[in-house]
Structure formats: structure tokens, C-alpha cells
Amino acid sequence: MKPPIYGYVRVLPDLDDQAVSYLHDELAHFAFAAGFTLAGAFVERRWLRLAAWDALVDHCNQHEVRNVVVPTSEHLHTLPALSFVMQSVIKEVIGGRVWFVHPGTAEELSCPSRPRSTAP
């Protein structure tokens, strides 16, 4: 049996319902190809809200799902530092990992607003 993964899509300003449906299909295809079963997708329909995000985190905890897939880091947040914070929530709160259908250069980078320690 394949492990479950939840999807998350933020409806960015330029996305219509057809584009959101297409992104859901991409999440499902990614899940299948990566060896997961897409257990559900949470869609943040209101631009500056986090209701679907909060529901996603709650469902992950309730159902012990440790993997989340998003189309790109912009679906977490359009600001890279805040996208990083949301990735950290998945890692710290549910002990999980965020997967990207279309990874970019910022996905696995450390938070740009955090100074790097020079201590050994």
C-alpha cells in the first residue's frame, strides 16, 4: 500500500477554476509517480487566508500523514522567507516533508532572512 500524501494549492491571483483543476491533476500525477496516494487536496481560495492551511496541518496530525505536495513554493507563500516558514511548519509540527511538483531554486534553500552562523 502506498503512503498517503496531502496536496495544498493556494489560488494565486491569476488562477481560474480550470487552472486549479489542472493543478489538482498535477498533484495526483506527482503523488502516483513518487509512490504516494493523494489522500486529498486542500485549496486556499481566499488569497490572504490560511483556513485551508490550518485544516491541512490538522488533518496531517489527525491521520498521521507526513508528506505534503504543492505545485511550487509560491503556493505556500509568494515571499520566499514566508514560504520557508511554512515548509518549517510541516517539518516541525507534523514531522513531515514538503514535496514540489515544479521545484525551483528556492525550495530547499535556507531562509534568506536568517544570518548564517560562523561558529564552528
Q: What is the pLDDT of residues 11-33, one digit of tens each?
A: 888 889 999 999 999 999 999 99
Kindly state the cell numbers that stand for 36. Answer: 504516494
Q: What H or E segment, with its residue span, contains residue 23?
A: helix 17-33
Question: Cβ distance 68 to 42 under 8 Å?
Answer: no
Rg of the chain over all Cα atoms, to the nearest angstrom:
14
What pLDDT shows up at residue 48?
A: 73
pLDDT at position 114 over 70? no
Could you tell me the maximum CA-CA distance found in the chain, to the nearest angstrom? Answer: 51
Domain spanning 4-100: CATH 3.40.50.300: no
For CA atoms 38, 7, 80, 62, give the dihedral sign: negative
Kindly state the cell numbers that stand for 116. Answer: 548564517
Which of 29, 88, 93 has the alpha carbon at shortest distance from 60? 93
What pLDDT shows up at residue 19?
A: 93
Model confidence, pTM: 0.83
pLDDT in tens, 65-110: 999 999 999 999 888 899 999 999 999 999 999 999 998 755 554 4
